């Protein structure tokens, strides 16, 4: 018997996906680190820079640095440091390889469970080259995104293996992949719900093993009970994540972001993500939270659109991919949609990395069905091939251009300033990058603009203090440090900068106290440790 022609196409299609994604992203391997969390994850993290050590592994499982508990992500970064040293090339290459691997696994999974080679390939292609996914791949600090998604795909494959022959050993593989994914990034907490959606379509497990024709609740109950261990693990991960982020100050309080404001932003963000998927323009590394400035018509309109689409998708029983794809999108965005506000962003491109797969599935299966209503089979195939080629080519070009903005911090944040409004974070980080280029005057202007937009911005106060110290304006630097400490009493950078200014005024004992406090708050802060040693030496002299 000859080999199945569909199987013969798997290798060339897979190779095409690899070349396509690598071509769109390859320039990222020549990029450096950026001054937005890359310091916490790599460049100023002595545990990661030391590579794979016994102490480092212990630290990975016990630390809550960067407001997260994700030991598997830390270990992967340590492995890169062990292999490549401080060279950013290696970290970027690993991110890209993980991304390509996830795209291939998605393609093979969809092809296996649906038998639709070209639709599966299209989903994997636009997953692999969509501009909204550049942030997850091009940003070293988002290693947790591409790594956890690889475990997401492994979990789905293990689950498929289990459904074909339900055995405890096979279920343990599902649990293992799921746990490793949670320890890379807790974004996987929604995966048990996605597995339930896959039970509906394309696995069609609701139609198996049910002897009573009209009893539709029995198979659902069985499938839900099957997910209970995974749901329990997801609940534990959610609690741990919330506690860690709350203790680190990353979770915004209800005073800063009232519940009504969060709900309003979440409704608008759901619609905005769809809009950016369809027209990926003006993408930025940071989108400022609008607070109470969202117009009521926009919030109400977004809510109505979401309800309308959800009802249409659920009622389309003959096209189960609509409900599965749409609910995949809605449910997987829940942890990052802003109901629990973490950070000061309204939305983030990286949050779409997994959720958009659901919408891609709707497009890949829905468009051919629509065309089948209007055209002949031959014409439909021609139109599908042509339109898919145009879409893939356009997205590849857009992604290539978007990757270019991640070349360095100046390019990244200068672009963010241009495509967003009132972006204090972008102005502040652009200022930091300009200082590294020796353009102190321009940097100060951006710091002051950041404070004009957000007067209680601790990081901008700290950076203005550093600039003032370099310019010899010590009283101004001290004032900025005290203001930063008034806003956030436990800020290590403010204590360190205050110590530097006081030391330059000859107040060494006061400076020593602030350096010690900075080290107590952040034991890994190398600059505070060096300043403390220097101050002690001067006092002894």
Give yes or no for residue 212 having a pLDDT over 50: no
Choice between 248 and 388, residue whose per-residue pLDDT is larger = 388
pLDDT at 254: 55
- Start-end of H helices in 139-258: 143-164, 168-182, 191-200, 217-247
Average pLDDT in the chain: 94
Q: What distance in Å separates the CA atoms of residue 516 and residue 359, rounded to the nearest whole number?
A: 52
Q: What distance in Å separates the CA atoms of residue 29 and residue 91, rounded to the nearest whole number?
A: 8
DSSP string, 521-533: H-TT-HHHHHHHH
Mean pLDDT, residues 435-450 taken together: 97
pLDDT at 434: 98
Question: Using only C-alpha atoms, what is the Rg of the chain?
Answer: 25
Give yes or no for residue 17 having a pLDDT over 50: yes
The answer to whether the CB of 453 falls within 8 A of the CB of 311 is: no
Give yes or no for residue 31 having a pLDDT over 90: yes
Give yes or no for residue 340 having a pLDDT over 90: no
Give yes or no for residue 211 having a pLDDT over 50: no
Q: How confident is the model at residue 218 (pLDDT cuts 50, 70, 90)?
A: low
Tell me the CA end-to-end span of the chain in Å, nearest whole number. Answer: 89
Rounded to an integer, what is the distance from CA 279 to the centroid of its chain?
20
Long-range Cβ contact pairs of 246-253 (< 8 A, separation 24 or more): 247/64, 248/64, 248/67, 249/67, 249/488, 250/67, 250/342, 250/343, 251/340, 251/341, 251/342, 252/341, 252/342, 252/343, 252/344
Q: How confident is the model at residue 8 (pLDDT cuts 50, 70, 90)?
A: confident
Mean pLDDT, residues 123-148 taken together: 98
Give yes or no for residue 453 having a pLDDT over 50: yes
What contacts 55, CB < 8 A, 6 or more positions away? 47
Could you tell me where the beta strands, DSSP code E, fall in 273-393? 287-288, 345-347
CA neighbours closer than 13 Å in the CB half-sphere of residue 184: 21
Mean pLDDT, residues 511-530 taken together: 92
Give yes or no for residue 42 having a pLDDT over 90: yes
Percentage of residues in the chain having pLDDT higher than 70: 96
Mean pLDDT, residues 302-319 taken together: 96
Q: How confident is the model at residue 406 (pLDDT cuts 50, 70, 90)?
A: very high
Write down all domains in the chain, each with its CATH number in brackets.
5-404 (no CATH), 409-540 (1.25.40.10)
CA neighbours closer than 13 Å in the CB half-sphere of residue 327: 22
Mean pLDDT, residues 319-343 taken together: 94
pLDDT (tens digit, 9 = 90+) per residue, 364-402? 999 999 998 888 888 999 999 999 999 999 999 999 999
Q: How confident is the model at residue 105 (pLDDT cuts 50, 70, 90)?
A: very high
pLDDT at 213: 46
Rounded to an integer, what is the distance from CA 42 to the centroid of its chain?
17
Predicted TM-score (pTM) of the model is 0.94
Rounded to an integer, what is the distance from CA 36 to the centroid of its chain?
13
pLDDT at 23: 98
Mean pLDDT, residues 96-121 taken together: 97
Q: What distance in Å separates the CA atoms of residue 500 and residue 498, rounded to the nearest whole number?
A: 5
pLDDT at 253: 55
Mean pLDDT, residues 130-156 taken together: 98
Q: What distance in Å separates the CA atoms of residue 338 and residue 104, rounded to the nearest whole number?
A: 30
Give yes or no for residue 209 having a pLDDT over 60: no
pLDDT at 376: 86
pLDDT at 344: 86
pLDDT (tens digit, 9 = 90+) per residue, 162-195? 999 999 999 999 999 999 999 999 999 999 999 9
The answer to whether the CB of 406 falls within 8 A of the CB of 31 is: yes
pLDDT at 1: 43
Mean pLDDT, residues 476-485 taken together: 97
Q: How confident is the model at residue 10 (pLDDT cuts 50, 70, 90)?
A: very high
Q: Which of 245-249, 470-474, 489-493 has the lowest mean pLDDT?
A: 245-249
Q: Which of 152-166, 314-328, 393-407, 514-528 has the lowest mean pLDDT?
A: 514-528
DSSP string, 431-481: HHHHHHTT-HHHHHHHHHHHHHH-TT-HHHHHHHHHHHHHTT-HHHHHHHH
Q: How confident is the model at residue 255 (pLDDT cuts 50, 70, 90)?
A: low
């Amino acid at each position: 018997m000859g080999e199945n022609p569909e199987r013969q196409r798997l290798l060339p299609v897979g190779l095409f996906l690899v070349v396509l994604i690598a071509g769109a992203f390859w320039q990222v391997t020549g990029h450096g680190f950026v001054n937005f969390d890359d310091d916490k994850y790599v460049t100023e993290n002595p545990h990661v820079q030391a590579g794979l050590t016994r102490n480092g592994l212990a630290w990975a499982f016990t630390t809550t640095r960067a407001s997260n508990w994700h030991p598997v992500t830390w270990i992967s970064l340590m492995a890169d440091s062990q292999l490549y040293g401080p060279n950013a090339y290696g970290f970027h290459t690993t991110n890209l390889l993980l991304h390509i691997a996830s795209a291939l696994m998605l393609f093979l999974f969809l092809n296996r469970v649906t038998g639709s080679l070209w639709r599966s390939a299209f989903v994997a292609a636009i997953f692999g080259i969509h501009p909204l996914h550049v942030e997850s791949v091009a940003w070293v600090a988002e290693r947790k995104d591409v790594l956890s998604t690889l475990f997401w795909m492994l979990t789905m494959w293990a689950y498929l293996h289990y459904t074909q022959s339900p055995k405890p050993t096979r279920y343990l593989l599902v649990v293992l992949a799921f746990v490793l994914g949670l320890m890379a990034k807790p974004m996987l907490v929604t995966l048990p719900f996605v597995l339930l959606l896959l039970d509906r379509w394309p696995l069609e497990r609701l139609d198996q093993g049910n002897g009573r024709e009209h009893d539709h609740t029995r198979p659902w109950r069985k499938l839900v009970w099957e997910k209970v261990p995974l749901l329990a693990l997801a609940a534990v991960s959610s609690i741990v994540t919330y506690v860690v982020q709350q203790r680190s100050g990353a979770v915004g309080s209800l005073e800063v972001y009232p519940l009504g404001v969060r709900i309003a932003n979440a409704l608008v963000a759901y619609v905005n993500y769809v809009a950016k998927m369809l027209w990926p323009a003006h993408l930025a590394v940071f989108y400022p939270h609008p607070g109470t400035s969202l117009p009521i018509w926009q919030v109400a309109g977004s809510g109505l659109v979401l309800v309308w689409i959800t009802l249409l998708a659920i009622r389309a029983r003959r096209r189960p991919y609509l409900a599965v794809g749409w609910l995949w999108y809605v449910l997987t965005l829940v942890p990052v949609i802003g109901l629990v506000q973490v950070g000061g962003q309204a939305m983030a491109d990286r949050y779409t990395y997994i959720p958009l797969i659901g919408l891609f599935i709707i497009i890949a299966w829905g468009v051919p069905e629509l065309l089948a209503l209007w055209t002949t089979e031959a014409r439909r195939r021609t139109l599908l091939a042509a339109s898919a080629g145009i879409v893939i080519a356009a997205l590849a070009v857009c992604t290539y251009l978007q990757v270019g903005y991640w070349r360095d911090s100046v390019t990244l944040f200068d672009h963010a300033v241009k495509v967003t409004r009132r972006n204090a974070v972008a102005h502040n980080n652009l200022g930091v990058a300009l200082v590294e280029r020796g353009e102190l005057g321009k940097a100060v202007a951006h710091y002051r603009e950041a404070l004009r937009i957000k007067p209680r911005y601790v990081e901008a106060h700290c950076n203005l203090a550093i600039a003032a110290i370099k310019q010899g304006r010590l009283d101004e630097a001290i004032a900025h440090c005290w203001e930063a400490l008034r806003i956030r009493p436990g800020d290590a950078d403010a204590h360190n900068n205050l110590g530097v200014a006081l030391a330059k005024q000859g107040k060494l004992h006061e400076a020593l106290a602030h350096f010690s406090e900075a080290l107590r708050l952040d034991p890994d802060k190398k600059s505070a440790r060096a300043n403390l040693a220097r101050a002690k030496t001067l006092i002894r002299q």
